[in-house]
Structure 1
Amino acid sequence: MPQKPKTTSASAQKGKPIRVKKRPAKKEPLPVTERLKRLFTSLCAQIDGGHFSNAIKTCDKILRLEPSDPDALQTKVFLLLQTEQYAHALALIEGNDKYAYEKAYSLYRTNQEAGARNALEVSKRNKGDDDRGVLHLEAQLAYREGTYQAAFDLYNQLLDTSEPSSDEHADILTNLEAAQKHLEFIDSGYLRSLDDLPTSVTNDLESAPPPHPPSAAATLANVIVSQDTDTTKKEKQVRLKRVPKSVVMGVTPPPDPERWLKKSERSNFNAGGKRKKGGGGATQGMVESSAPATSHGSKSGNKGKKKK
């Protein structure tokens, strides 16, 4: 197959030089120190603006460039606690005793009191017994575990060293009052409640033997019965929003269940007597004519007659 003739541009035919566009030179990547500096600047701006989710992503970028950066790691742990991502925080600081307090706080917020108590002991050795954060967390753990006297003493210790005009002072007073109420009920409150009861009730309580713990079979039977009653209640419950205003429950007769069927398909159709003759299955609006039909020949014979 012969080759196609090559076409030349008009500028080449005239002898003019062809201009070739120069590609821009590739920019060299910034050094790691300069990239880290810019990322930390963005991180500070994001934290000041309250954009914590974006700040966590920036911390990840810094840790990819410098995995052992302590500032980025500490900032990410702080941001995870602020956004209540306790599981991610625990995975990040696992095995690092430097963040024992953060581990104890995360375990406390996820209702793991035993692990929080162990981590708090490690935090005491790192920070000391007089650290305010450690004292706050220890008081909250004691209150949750039911040792109200220990919580009461710790809150009193914190109250003595707090500023009266601070938010911390108001929080400590609230927690101290709650612990004090529990202590008063344990010491004398339940006794006053017993004194207010009738004598017959208190005598029965004092003479009655302690209740036996329910067996597993009885507990299972109670659960099954409660589930059955719940299902029956749900079936019998009527949605009042769909009931018309003119209907009175229990007084107004219920509607006909066959009201959506055709009349010919209902069970009471033609129950009053025999059907009238002449219907012949005609549809509604159709009228039968009684006049006999004329033949084709009669029509053709009438065409020639003139009207007088």
Structure 2
Amino acid sequence: MPPPSATARKPQPKGKRSTRKATPKKPVSEAENIRRLFSSLASQIDGAHFANAIKTCDKILRIYPDDVDALSTKLFLLLQIDQYQSALAVIDGSKDKSKLAFENAYALYRSHEDVGAHEATKSLKEKNPEDRGLAHLEAQLYYRDGMYQEAHDLYTELLDSTDPATEEHSDILTNLQAAQKHLDFINSEYLHAIDTLPPSITNTLEAAAPPMPPSSFIAVAPSAQQPSLSTSLDKPKKVRMSRVPPGVTPGITPPPDPERWLKKSERSTYNQGRRRRGGGGATQGSATFDASPSVSASGAKGGGGKGKRKK
């Protein structure tokens, strides 16, 4: 067996840890960190984890505040989860708002800010008159504002230039039918229903004053009901039977014992029976006895005399 070499390490005794320091990890470069963040962002979007994806976009924007991809992705995610006010805040904080003009108009439309949405779509239509997404948004605005004829015209133009095999065609057809139903009701059904009424009813409807607003009706209603309230106050109030315990008749059933909440030893009727039994022998010729015989285990075995006691 060869002799051990001088450079061989000696075995460390048990119970002692190695004093060798761990090598520090190399810091991740900024480019590698961005690559990892975008990779996790893509996985989160594929898995529909939109809340975590928004946090990842914020991490990227802390490193590169002007990153267009991260900003547009965050805006898209906010619109997907219906956070329209947050989306508008992101658009207002961006340096180049012109690139996010359509998203701004869509967020205004979904936030029910119709005036701002109309202005945004009008300015966009001047620059891009052939934009189909803008035409869809404008038709939706017309429909919500009750401008069914304008919405019907836009949907008809979109339907003529859409492939029937696409999903867009079925969506446009559904919206077109809804606008057509409103137009039919306004232009034919409503007028036809008015024409079928007798002249006396139509003359009354035309001569009648417009209905009062709800606020004035609420203010006048209490004063009109005051006489009925005064007459109802004169009537005697009836006992609410729902508050009476079951099996109790008011005025007939005796009231409960007022000492029912006290201990038995503290009640005034405690020990009254014992005092009556202890008074025997006080008068000549009178005797009291207990009619109910007491039965015990010791007395049942064999009778016993007077002087016997139980041991």
Q: Same fold (TM over 0.5)?
A: yes
Tell me if the contact between 1:107 and 1:113 (Cα under 8 Å) persists in the aligned partners: yes
State how far apart, in whole Å, the 2-side matches of 1:201 and 1:42 are. Answer: 70
Shift of 1:191: 1.2
Alignment equivalent of 1:282, drawn from 263, 269, 273: 269
Tell me if the contact between 1:97 and 1:122 (Cα under 8 Å) persists in the aligned partners: no
Shift of 1:64: 0.7
State how far apart, in whole Å, the 2-side matches of 1:66 and 1:86 are. Answer: 24
Show the counterpart of 1:105.
106
State how far apart, in whole Å, the 2-side matches of 1:183 and 1:23 are. Answer: 82
Aligned length: 241
- Secondary structure of 1:138's counterpart equals helix
* Residues 45 and 284 of structure 1, relative CA distance in 2, 3 Å threshold: farther
Show the counterpart of 1:177.
177
* Residues 99 and 224 of structure 1, relative CA distance in 2, 3 Å threshold: farther
Shift of 1:254: 9.3
1:9-33 per-position Cα deviation (integer Å, ceiling 9, x unaligned):
xxxxxxxxx9961222322321111
State how far apart, in whole Å, the 1-side matches of 2:27 and 2:221 are. Answer: 68
Alignment equivalent of 1:80, drawn from 78, 81, 86: 78
State the TM-score, normalized to the length of structure 2.
0.67
Show the counterpart of 2:32.
34
Show the counterpart of 1:67.
65
Alignment equivalent of 2:55, drawn from 54, 57, 60: 57
1:94-144 per-position Cα deviation (integer Å, ceiling 9, x unaligned):
161211111111111111100111121233345x11111101000000111
Q: How does 1:126-137 map to 2 (within 5 A)?
A: 126=127, 128-137=128-137
1:18-65 per-position Cα deviation (integer Å, ceiling 9, x unaligned):
996122232232111111111111111111111111111111111111
Tell me if the contact between 1:148 and 1:182 (Cα under 8 Å) persists in the aligned partners: yes
Shift of 1:73: 0.5
* Residues 225 and 254 of structure 1, relative CA distance in 2, 3 Å threshold: farther
Gaps of 5+ in 1: 1-17, 229-246, 267-279, 296-305
Identity %: 46
* Residues 183 and 37 of structure 1, relative CA distance in 2, 3 Å threshold: same
* Residues 19 and 46 of structure 1, relative CA distance in 2, 3 Å threshold: closer
Tell me if the contact between 1:108 and 1:141 (Cα under 8 Å) persists in the aligned partners: yes
Gaps of 5+ in 2: 1-15, 227-240, 260-266, 283-306
* Residues 223 and 22 of structure 1, relative CA distance in 2, 3 Å threshold: farther
State how far apart, in whole Å, the 2-side matches of 1:164 and 1:29 are. Answer: 56
Shift of 1:183: 1.4
Q: Does 1:195 align with 2:195?
A: yes
- Secondary structure of 2:190's counterpart equals helix
1:68-108 per-position Cα deviation (integer Å, ceiling 9, x unaligned):
11111110000000011101100000161211111111111
State the TM-score, normalized to the length of structure 1.
0.67
Tell me if the contact between 1:90 and 1:106 (Cα under 8 Å) persists in the aligned partners: yes
- Secondary structure of 1:27's counterpart equals coil
Instruction: Specify the code of the residue in structure 2 equivalent to 1:118.
Output: E
State how far apart, in whole Å, the 2-side matches of 1:132 and 1:204 are. Answer: 49
Tell me if the contact between 1:59 and 1:72 (Cα under 8 Å) persists in the aligned partners: yes
